[in-house]
Amino acid sequence: MSQVLRAIDYAHGQCRLSVVSTTSLKLSQYNGQNLQIGGGLQQIPAAGVTVSNTGLSATTLYYVYAAVVSGAMVLELSTTGHSTATNGVETKTGDTSRTLVGMIATNASSQFVDSLASPTCFNWFNRRLISASAGVLSGAVAGSTFTEINTGLRLTFLAWPDETVDVSVVGNMFGDTASALLTLSPSLDSAQWGMGVSSSDSASGLQRPATARAVALVSEGRHIASAIGKTSSGNVQFSVGVQLITRG
């Protein structure tokens, strides 16, 4: 009897990476079981493949590679970046026996994290929509230099260079000096990001709604988004939240 060959049986990248716990990372089957490694199509075990955080450094970005060692699929975490092999597969730079499946960033305790405020496990294949947010927090700013409003608003995230990152800062602001120009803006890695929003009133102490947004491609790797503000005179009180959307 002839056998019908299906494209899905020979597909590549049928997997997803996820954080199992603060010490364990897992590659699982997704819409199939195949992954091309070292020029050959390999099957991801039904139970998946895991790797621990043993020996990892704190606050560090690691690329996650799949390899076959002694006949078994394993995951390797490396700070070495990736490049495209001659067969079109994204592999570890200098070693085409390692296939890129994602990236992960450790926290200050060298642990794996993938939370609402810190989405730091990203997939190379089968990317999904990722959202992050920091609840409404207050902070006072004085002076005409952009200053971070509240460190609790920081969102640590990863980014692929071909995926747009959308960050919004939403809330209100009010100053104590008449005619002062108040400005709110998102920040990326401590620098102003996007257009920001400014407002000025003839009287002091007037509360004004404010929304500022940045939508752009950013460099590959680990980043921190937050909210910054300034005033042309006196002091300004902000009460804002930060929201982020990307894919990975």
pLDDT tens-digit profile of 6-57?
A: 555 668 999 999 999 999 999 999 999 999 999 899 999 999 999 999 999 9
Tokens of 84: 């495209």
- Do 109 and 136 fall within a single domain? no
DSSP state of 55: T
Look at residue 123 in the predicted model and tell me its pLDDT. Answer: 98
DSSP label of 65 = E
Q: How many domains does the chain have?
A: 2
Give the pLDDT confidence of 88-128 residue by residue, as tens digits.
Answer: 999 999 999 999 999 999 999 999 999 999 999 999 999 99
Residue 177 lies inside a defined structural domain of this protein:
yes
Q: Choose one of 93, 123, 153: the last residue of a domain.
A: 123
Longest dimension (CA), the chain: 86
Q: Are residues 15 and 113 in the same domain?
A: yes
In this structure, the answer to whether residues 137 and 243 fall within a common structural domain is yes
Q: Are residues 151 and 227 in the same domain?
A: yes
Q: Give the range of the structural domain holding residue 205, as residue numbers without chain letter.
A: 129-247
Q: What is the pTM of this model?
A: 0.93
Cα–Cα distance between 40 and 204 in angstroms, integer? 69
Q: Is the pLDDT of residue 2 over 50?
A: no
Same domain? 221 vs 162: yes
Q: Which of 98, 123, 148 is the last residue of a domain?
A: 123
Query: Does 207 map to a domain?
Result: yes
Give the whole-angstrom CA distance, residue 126 versus residue 248.
8
Closest CA to 155 of 123, 122, 182, 115: 115
Same domain for 134 and 236, yes or no, is yes
Do β-strands 221-231 and 147-148 pair in parallel, antiparallel, or remain unpaired?
A: antiparallel
Residue 210, token pair as written in the block = 């404010």
Asked if residue 65 and residue 136 are part of one domain, the reply reads no
User: In the prediction, which pLDDT does 204 show?
Assistant: 77
Looking at 105, 123, 141, which one is the last position of a domain?
123
